[in-house]
């Protein structure tokens, strides 16, 4: 029995397999519609998330399975003071697999140590969000046809953005990757990631505050939201939230085949006029999120 807590616990071969299954699901959806018949997914969301929860639920329904769960801590036994481990043990009795989001870092790992069914980390605070990373990888693969030899620009909140951290860690395992880090000084990528991931893996990278200046180099532009909930004070959030906004004008010098990704939801960091640009992939990315979660559920449930 296996869980998915951290993207790096999957080998690149396993990621390739998941991507291959997701692509097969996209090509042959009918083949998969009863694969999880009589199986149940529990979605335990201790903090609200529309997108991730609905994506998991849609994934399970499309596999013919069923879904139960809660979408905020107040409506769970956590409000009565139950531990994460006890909740996981209990829900293991009702469901075949659990997707858990929790505001505290490490909660899904604690759940996986106690549960008797696989746990999928659906986001633990600012720490890990492996299914978002799988979504990003599938999107890159589908848009660019490869996961190597790419120059990827990460723009916005690189300090608190867990999706950025995980994607950098995941991409650093492929060859020919160059990273461009675009952010205000206050929201730069943490030093340990530069040292322990980029430097350690010999990944070429540069830091800049000027999005337009590096635009022509990029194969992928990964935009992020400056998240209110990751700040300790409101003042810093308000000062930095509009730092980098993508507009059609900024895309003038971009490559024809640039892929613009965003984990969503966006606030205003990508102007809606960019949406019509064929290089805007973020809504296709949402759809990919459902397909890769389907592939992951199949893998963890060991359904052939």
Among 77, 126, 188, 271, binds another protein (CB under 8 A): 126
The Cα–Cα gap between 55 and 208 comes to: 34
Task: Tell which residue, 283, 27, 257, 8, has the closest CA to residue 145.
Answer: 257
Nearer to another protein, 105 or 186 (CB): 105
Only one of the segments 104-112, 129-137, 201-209, 239-247 lies at the binding site for another protein (rule: CB under 8 A); that segment is 104-112
The Cα–Cα gap between 10 and 276 comes to: 35
Nearer to another protein, 106 or 184 (CB): 106
Name the DSSP class of 199: I
Name the DSSP class of 198: I
Nearer to another protein, 102 or 290 (CB): 102
- 88 counts as binding another protein under rule CB under 8 A: no
Contacts (Cβ under 8 Å, ≥6 apart) of 54: none
- 146 counts as binding another protein under rule CB under 8 A: no
Nearer to another protein, 37 or 195 (CB): 195
- 125 counts as binding another protein under rule CB under 8 A: yes
- 106 counts as binding another protein under rule CB under 8 A: yes
- 173 counts as binding another protein under rule CB under 8 A: no
Among 127, 129, 225, 290, binds another protein (CB under 8 A): 127
Task: Tell which residue, 132, 113, 118, has the closest CA to residue 7.
Answer: 132
Task: Tell which residue, 213, 227, 208, 203, has the closest CA to residue 103.
Answer: 227
- 286 counts as binding another protein under rule CB under 8 A: no
- Asked if residue 242 lies in contact with residue 268, where contact means CB atoms within 8 angstroms, the answer is yes
The Cα–Cα gap between 165 and 158 comes to: 8
Q: Which two tokens stand for residue 109?
A: 């790992």
Among 72, 196, 204, 275, binds another protein (CB under 8 A): 196
- 199 counts as binding another protein under rule CB under 8 A: no
Task: Tell which residue, 248, 296, 302, has the closest CA to residue 131.
Answer: 296
Among 26, 54, 67, 109, binds another protein (CB under 8 A): 109
- 73 counts as binding another protein under rule CB under 8 A: no
- 67 counts as binding another protein under rule CB under 8 A: no
Beta-strand ranges (E) seen in 108-244 are 119-124, 150-155, 177-182, 204-208, 220-223
Nearest distance in Å: CB 125, another protein: 5
Strand pairing report for 66-70 and 150-155: unpaired
Among 37, 51, 104, 206, binds another protein (CB under 8 A): 104
Interface with another protein (CB under 8 A): 83-85, 102-107, 109-110, 124-127, 192, 196
């Amino acid at each position: 029995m296996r869980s998915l807590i951290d993207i790096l616990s999957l080998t690149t071969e396993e990621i390739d397999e998941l991507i291959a299954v997701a692509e097969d699901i996209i090509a042959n959806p009918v083949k998969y519609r009863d694969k999880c018949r009589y199986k149940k997914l529990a979605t335990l969301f201790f903090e609200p998330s529309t997108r991730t929860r609905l994506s998991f639920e849609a994934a399970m329904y499309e596999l013919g399975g069923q879904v139960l769960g809660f979408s905020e801590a107040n409506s769970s036994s956590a409000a009565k003071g139950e531990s994460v481990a006890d909740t996981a043990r209990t829900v293991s009795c009702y469901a075949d697999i659990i997707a858990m989001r929790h505001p505290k870092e490490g909660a899904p790992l604690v759940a996986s140590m106690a549960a008797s069914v696989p746990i999928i980390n659906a986001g633990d605070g600012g720490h890990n969000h492996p299914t978002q990373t799988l979504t990003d990888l599938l999107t890159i693969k589908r848009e660019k046809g490869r996961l190597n030899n790419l120059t990827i620009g990460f723009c916005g909140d690189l300090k608190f953005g867990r999706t950025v951290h995980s994607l950098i860690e995941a991409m650093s395992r492929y060859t020919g990757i160059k990273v461009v880090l675009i952010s205000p000084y206050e929201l730069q990528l943490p030093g340990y990631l530069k040292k322990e991931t980029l430097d350690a893996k010999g990944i070429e990278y540069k830091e800049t505050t000027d999005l337009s200046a590096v635009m022509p180099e990029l194969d992928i532009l990964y935009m992020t939201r400056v998240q209110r909930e990751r700040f300790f004070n409101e003042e810093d959030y308000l000062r930095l939230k509009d730092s980098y906004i993508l507009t059609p004008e900024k895309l003038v010098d971009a490559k024809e085949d640039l892929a613009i990704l965003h984990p969503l939801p966006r606030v205003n960091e990508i102007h809606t006029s960019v949406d019509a640009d064929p290089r805007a992939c973020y809504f296709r990315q949402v759809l990919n999120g459902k397909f890769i979660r389907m592939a992951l559920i199949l893998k963890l449930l060991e359904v052939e």
